[in-house]
Structure 1
Amino acid sequence: MYKQHYSRFLNARPGLLHCAPHSHYYWPDVTREAQLEYWDDSAQYVDEKWGYLFSEKVPYVQQGIARLLNVPDPGQVVFAPNTHELLYRAISAFPYGKALRILTTDAEFHSFNRQSRRLEERGNVEVVRIPTEPFDTFAVRWAEAVASSPWDLIFISQVFYNSGVAAPLPKEWLAGVQRSDTIIMVDGYHGFAAIPTDWSEYADRVFYLAGAYKYGQAGEGCCFAVVPRDVTVRPEYTGWFADFASLAKSQEGPVAYAQNGMCMAGATIDLSALYRFSAVLAWWQQEGLTPERICAYIRSLQHAFLAHIDSLNDARLNRTTLLENGLERHGHFFTFRWGQGDEAAAEVAALAEQLKKQGVATDFRYDRLRFGFALYHNAQDYQQIRID
């Protein structure tokens, strides 16, 4: 239905069924001209490029993100090359040497998991990780943990990267936060532009981190945070973008910050990714591709995929080995786990390799095999999946 818009990526890899868009989504054709536009604008504006970008290009993408998330003020959106930079900038807002108590889950992406474990090595940082499984009790257990202590930082995904299961919405646990100065962050990377998301209820209190590498369809380099209006942060890890409007003023005395989301900005970055995402946003508007419409199409693909998997009668890939907690809010990928430990991991790797030889690209995380769904799929594509 939408394949014609991805012709360059599809033609570059003929015969491949790419079932890993949750890892790296194909870029639509419109992004190629956007990349060239960045080069041409750089040549035209040279020294004046940053003024042009921050007056024209950045606001357009801020407005697009605000529209997708129903965020009241586009100025709350700040960009960075990756979400990890934004995460650590928020952490650096805590006083140096302060003892920290962090609440999170055991299913966060590698970057946060690695960073939090490294922080624990300081000796004055405690990290409590709530197991996400069993999924049917997680919402209650998470809400109880939130309310159990005056946390400094709360960090949770919108959709867990290693299962596709959607986390409970903030409205289900936010009231339990004991302190007004707790930094609360939701990693929306597997939810943004996939799961219809209305952030207006949380825009004054909760950080939302995401980017265009996955369902934003614009590749790496265009990540962002929605910075809550009621939270004041002065990151120690800061750069000249964080007070862009005051560059011509005296740079002495206490370090000043922008009074909007730009307070979380860093320094010089390659904004070509922002051009690509700008082109994707324009294309979505032209096609009427809202998150609701995109999600409805993906749901139809997921049902077609499951119907095909049913017909295979395989002991490994079936509905009982699918990790889920209600497919109506599930992410845009499926995760199968039929065993645990090294033996199961070896079986997963072998099956992924078998599928690869058939021209089916999946990916796996230890003992979990993942299949993703994209706008450049049609329902009949899944007939290519065979289990010998």
Structure 2
Amino acid sequence: MDELRATPNALAPHYSRFDVANRLLLTGHSHQAWPDVAVEGQLEAFNDAARAVDAKWERAAAKATEVADGFRELLEDPQGEVALGASTHDLVVRWLSALDLRRKARLVTTDGEFHTLRRQLARLAEEGLEVVRVPAEPAGTLAERIAAEVDSRTAAVLVSAVLFENARIVPGLGELAQVCLRRDAELLVDAYHALGAIEFPVHELGLGAAWVIGGGYKYLQLGEGNCFLRLPEHADRFRPVVTGWFAEFGSLSGHAEATAVRYGRGAARFAGATYDPTSHYRAARVLAFFAAHGLTPGFLRQVSRHQVGLLARAFDELDVSPELMTRDRSNPLSAYAGFLALRCADAAGVQAALASAGVYADARGSTLRLGPAPYLSDDQLHDAVGVLGEVLERAPDGR
């Protein structure tokens, strides 16, 4: 890993189009740079369409299989069923439509979920669905507190493996899964901020019977349009109401005479309809790049822990007034995933000032998020925190 800490970072030349060696991109928790091979994937998609026209779909299907295989490998679930979608929202809506919400009109979630769930569940609550929101903090007891809300009226539980605002890893999801099984409630785990930042072996975590959703826009560098829904073994009893015609490929010849809408088996029943396959071509190239350079979940976790730790130590050395900016020190850094969260009354203002000085991060409410990535050197991370210190010194309450 030393070659990734050095200046220049050994991976940086492979990201020349994003110019990562000369830019302080602390957006690794939101939009990581794409390796140059991503362009080759996008051109390949165009060339296949130009050569084969409508016959391109056989080639596109092969790319989709490569992407699904990549997600299975990240989940350490080689036999798992994985449905693909353009966004997690597309997949969540199909999944919600498969629940029997007339019989069990109650969903349990948290107040720390990403906007995909927050907004959609809020709208469903407006239509009369009971939505229970458990406070996300303290995260250490979140799974236990959610479990206490699961009863015989609960159709499903929806919770993140890593909280998107502060990178806190949520422990105890395996125990929560067991409670859901006993209560006949489905468990949907949002792993978007987990994959590529921490190891996430679904069976070792006790999540074999859970649904897992996520995507590659962030730590996996796959870009837009690459999201997945991992299905548990009992998924074949579900019939999504929101369903695309790709879900009946296996029975198209007889669909007109069918007395009921038919579904394919496994992941096919959560399929959508005609889509732009370019995203899968790009993702397949990036997944192959990760494999060729040994960017495995275990290695990426080592890199992440080193980089987040470096950022935390460098921030502590600034000796900033806690009234101006602080970080959570109540838990060890190992309890966090892929970025450093800093609390600040004017997080958006600090973010804008950093951007003006050439450091790119983001803000969520009162939290400034600094997201490193494996193509950044240690010197770049130190430089970025140095700029943060200069920005804070100019703040009215700075030292």
TM-score normalised by the chain length of structure 2: 0.88
Partner of 1:83: 88
Secondary structure of the 1:247 match is helix
How many equivalent residue pairs? Answer: 375
Moved more, 32-41 or 374-383: 374-383
The one of 243, 246, 251 equivalent to 2:248 is: 243
Moved more, 148-157 or 315-324: 315-324
> Deviation of residue 22 (structure 1)?
1.2
Secondary structure of the 2:159 match is strand
After TM superposition, list the pairs within 5 Å mapping 1:21-36 onto structure 2: 21-36=28-43
> Deviation of residue 296 (structure 1)?
0.4
Partner of 1:6: 15
After TM superposition, list the pairs within 5 Å mapping 1:293-312 onto structure 2: 293-312=299-318
The one of 295, 298, 304 equivalent to 1:292 is: 298
Partner of 2:396: none
The one of 197, 222, 225 equivalent to 2:226 is: 222
CA distance in 1, matches of 2:168, 2:282: 29
After TM superposition, list the pairs within 5 Å mapping 1:355-370 onto structure 2: 355-370=354-369
- Give 1:32's aligned amino acid: V
Alignment RMSD: 2.2
> Deviation of residue 210 (structure 1)?
0.8
CA distance in 2, matches of 1:84, 1:244: 23
Flag the 1:359–1:264 CA change in 2: closer, same or farther, 3 A. Answer: same
> Deviation of residue 334 (structure 1)?
1.4
Flag the 1:141–1:204 CA change in 2: closer, same or farther, 3 A. Answer: closer
Flag the 1:181–1:44 CA change in 2: closer, same or farther, 3 A. Answer: farther
* Residue 281 of structure 2 corresponds to residue 275 of structure 1: yes
- Give 2:66's aligned amino acid: Y
CA distance in 1, matches of 2:49, 2:354: 43
CA distance in 1, matches of 2:374, 2:322: 26
CA deviations over 1:52-95 (Å, ceiling 9, x no partner): 322x2222222222112111325x11111001111110111135
Partner of 1:120: 125
Moved more, 247-256 or 85-94: 247-256
Partner of 2:63: 57
Flag the 1:167–1:128 CA change in 2: closer, same or farther, 3 A. Answer: same
> Deviation of residue 204 (structure 1)?
4.6
Partner of 1:382: 381
Which structure 1 residue ranges, 5 or more long, are not aligned?
Answer: 339-343
CA deviations over 1:111-153 (Å, ceiling 9, x no partner): 2111111001112x1111110112343343233234x554101
> Deviation of residue 171 (structure 1)?
1.3
Partner of 2:51: 44
The one of 79, 84, 109 equivalent to 1:73 is: 79
Secondary structure of the 2:349 match is helix
> Deviation of residue 172 (structure 1)?
2.4
After TM superposition, list the pairs within 5 Å mapping 1:35-184 onto structure 2: 35-54=42-61, 56-74=62-80, 76-95=81-100, 97-98=102-103, 100-123=105-128, 125-146=129-150, 148-177=151-180, 181-184=184-187
CA deviations over 1:206-240 (Å, ceiling 9, x no partner): 11111111112011111111111213210010011
- Give 1:166's aligned amino acid: I
Secondary structure of the 1:177 match is helix
Moved more, 348-357 or 368-377: 348-357
CA distance in 1, matches of 2:184, 2:152: 13
- Give 1:286's aligned amino acid: A
> Deviation of residue 324 (structure 1)?
6.7
Partner of 1:212: 216
Moved more, 349-358 or 170-179: 170-179
CA contact (8 A) 1:186 1:208 kept: yes
CA distance in 2, matches of 1:295, 1:104: 27
Secondary structure of the 1:370 match is strand
CA deviations over 1:180-216 (Å, ceiling 9, x no partner): 6522111111111221110135565211111111112
CA contact (8 A) 1:203 1:227 kept: no
Moved more, 176-185 or 83-92: 176-185
Secondary structure of the 2:213 match is strand
Which structure 2 residue ranges, 5 or more long, are not aligned?
Answer: 5-10, 394-399
- Give 2:36's aligned amino acid: D
CA distance in 1, matches of 2:77, 2:40: 29
Partner of 1:233: 238
CA contact (8 A) 1:323 1:335 kept: no
